[in-house]
Structure 1
Amino acid sequence: MTIKNKLLLIFISLIAVFSFLSIYLVSELKAQGDVTIYAFNQPLNAIDSSRSAGDIFTKASQYADNVLSMSLPQKREHVLVKIDELSHLFTQQLNETIKNSLTEALKKESTSVLALGEQWFTNIKFRIASVGQNELISRIELENSHHVIQQRLDFLVKDTLREAALLAKQAESSVNEKLFITSILLIFISLIAIITVLIMVKRLIRPINELITAVVELSRGDGDLTKRLTINGQDEVSTLSKEFNGFIEKVHQTVTDITTSVASTKQQLDDFSTISYETQQGTLKQKNQIDNISEAMIQVNASTSTVSESSTDVKKQTEDIYQETKVSVDFVEQAVAEINLLSNNVEQTSEVIFALKNSSTEIGEVLNVIEAIADQTNLLALNAAIEAARAGEAGRGFSVVAEEVRNLAMKTQESTTNIHRTISQIQQQAEEAKLMMEAGTSSATKCVKKNADVSKALHCVLNSVEGIKVTSEIVSEQTQQQMQATEHVNGYLGEIIEIAEQTSVGSQLLDNNSKKVIISMDEVNLKVEQFKV
């Protein structure tokens, strides 16, 4: 912003502030006038309404007394209409009083008086309209109500006057307060205007003084390029200061760039010198390492040859293992078949032994029958001997026969007992043979299962051996390729050794040139240090 625009802005701001203050004062005066008018008109309206209501009530009371005392004879209908008119006017005036009441207490009091008045008018109309003496309302009660209403109307007027006086005091106090605030505001705005003018004058003069000081310092040749003029705003002085700062900034940037470039170049040359020395040393070390690598590659080549031979042996051994494992698989499969056949034979033998056990049981039953027959024969022989003894000489021959029969029965009993014992042993041995056959069958089944597992494992081994065989072939091929690669690496290492020797010579030359350039950079740096950046 130009100086001219700043001055115009100051004057326009002052005019706007005082215009705003004038508008504020006018609005406050208008508001205060409205309050003052309200403070005087509102209570007067309330008082007038209250007094009018009192006059109407007094008029209605006198009219009712005249009608009731028969001093003013009229028709009942005319009297009731007149009472209604007076009641309506009374209600209208009290409603106006309620409307213009200054406080809620006055509104409640006016409302209460209105209710009493309406009740009084209702009682008056009821008394005038009543035809029987039993229905008449006591005149004393009406007079008491009349006195209460009249008294409360008087109190209402007095309370309204008191509230009006209080409102007038509040209005006066508000006027005094507004005058005080307005005076303070005028003083405050005047001080702000004076301070604003002083600040603006100071801000206008300060850039000019700074510009003069900077030009004087540059003309004396101090060489300080770090100082800048402060730029505030967009006036003519700010524009001049901005252009002056731009010129100084360009000079400062140029000198700074030269200083930075010299320092950077010197540092880079130092780095080049260091790098060239390190490169030279590294090249020598690299040459030694390459020699070691060459020797190591020769050893690797020899080891690779050994590995190739070993891989060939492994391949042959793997082939042998593969064939032997395949034969073992065939043997196991044959053994599984034989064991399955054996298991079937054992099961058949177990069935034969079980049948033998059943047959021996049947033989035992037959022997039991024979033993019973022998017992019976023995008993018959004994009876025959007794009868022969009774017969005497005539029965001697029969006695001999009976004795032979008895001996034969005894031998039969002994034979059946021996046979029965033998059959029992045969049954026991057949049971043991059956149990052993069942155990043999179970063992044969387990053996078949184990042989199946062995066959499966041998198949896995066979597959693994086949994989090893393929891997050994791949290793053999890779070993041959590695031997060829090591021969190529040995050739490359020889070339690298020659390049390393050339690099060592170039590094030495680069180190010498870097030292010469560093001396030139030091001379340039001495020239640049004359300026303060």
Structure 2
Amino acid sequence: MERSRSNKKPFSFAISIRGKLLLINLTLLTCVGLYAFYEHASFSSFESLEHAATENLQASVDLLTLRRHEKDFLVRKENKYPKRFDDVFNTLSQRLVDLNSLLKLHNLHLEKQTTNIIETLDRYQQQFHLLVDKVNSIEGIETSDNHRSRLENSRKKLKSAASSYDSFYLEVELLELIEKDYRYLADSTAESSNNLLKAVSNFAISEHVPSSLKPEFDQYKQDVEALVSASTELGHSADEGLKAQLRKNVHNAENSIKSLQTEISHAIKLKSEQIRTQLLVFGSAIVAILSILLFFIGRSILSRINAINILMKEIASGNGDLTVRMNAKGNDELAQLASSFDIFISKLHGNIQDVAKVMSILGESSENSKTSAVKSMNNAEQQKIQSESVATAVNELVMTSNEITANIECAANSAETIKQDAQGALEITLATSKSMQSLSSNISESQALIVNLAEQSKEINQVITAIQNIAEQTNLLALNAAIEAARAGEYGRGFSVVADEVRQLSLMTNNSTHQIESTIQELASGIQDTATKMSSSIDLACHTKETASDVVKAIEDMVIRINTMSDMNTQIATASEQQSMVSAEIDRNITEIAHLASDTHHIVSGSVHCSEQVSSVSHKLEKIVAQFKY
């Protein structure tokens, strides 16, 4: 009989747990998206403000570039620099206009400062172009119509006119004037300009200057005054004239840009703090909203889990009553879990009933199986003992056969070794016989050569005898020549010296031939002894050759007998090896039978053990089923 238990449904949302989790995820994604959007908008505004600061710094760089072009023009006097100046100025003006627009977007109220900078830069451009015109009018490189060119022409005319006057004082004063002129052109300062004007005045009132030189001097004076006036208006230094005005405007523009940069940096700092505060507040609000939502949804889920947990504890702490059902209410996942649990308990209830019916049948079968297994185990034990006895006997037979085979193999190996040694002795003896034949032939050839050598030594003795006769005759001739030279007196003195030298040479030749004759005689005696010994060696070699032939025949007979014995040992070894193989095969079969008997014994023992386990499990299962109410 089934009984159901129910509990009071706790407060929860009318949606499933999955829906609640999806609601949390959607809320989280929405809040993160809003936070990201707000953060992106805030940082975009902040980056725009930083871009304004960057543009202002770039404006400062452009102003430095304008000053560089100004300096380059004043140094090189080339018209390409004003063009570059205007290009950079247009870029700077557009940059300041864009900067003013950016500052208006952020409501910084800095239009007055940017307008002041633009106006100052406009004045700076106008003054620079005035300076360019003034510099070109003074010493323009790309044009010859300037004050310096006109002064140079009037100076040349004045020098040309003054050179026609043969006046030393005029030449000196003109040189002093031209020196002041060159000094001023080399270093245009207020002092050098005053010195030049003073020199012009002194030259004008000089008594050494003729009146006919006045037209050229007046033109020169006019050109000097025009040059000095233009240079003064331009400014001899950076603190005078147009240069001073230009420098003042540049400094004002630089100070204004630095002041604007300070204001923008302050605005960036305030904006950064504002964004940080707003993001902190917005993030805190998102965290609070998500925390409240998670609290209510988590509480609703936990209340449902606690209710189901209480029911499951009641079922677990009972007496195994499988008729209890949870019957949880609701449409969420926990209610589905409770319904699945009730279905599982119902199936378990039916299975326990089936197990109870099978228990009695299983108990009877396990007892019968145990009895049969005990009988099989006893039979296998007897078979195992008998197989081990047969295996021991066959193993001893195999060991004996192996020992015989090993001894036969040793004998065969020894016969083979003796055979190889005899074969080697035969080869050595044959080689010795061949060597003796070669030795006998060589000794015979040597004996013939020695006989020839003895004959040649006799011929050498004959030649030496002839040389001795020639030497004696030469000695007699030398004596006769000496006697004739003595008779000739002073005229035969040189010939007497030659005769003495010939006689000395004859005596030396005679002595050498006696030594050679003695050596040849000793050589002939040695050759005779060598020939005698060679003859004895030939007889000994022939006797040794005959002995070696007898040894070869004896060794050949021994090799034949050893081959016969080796073949017989090989046949015996083959038969013994076949016997060993058969014995080993029998031993393997008996051993395999013993292993099979042992395995059968172990298997039957295991079967008995399994039967005991089945019986034990059957009793345990009976006790377990008895715990449930079905």
Question: Same fold by TM-score, threshold 0.5 exceeded?
Answer: no
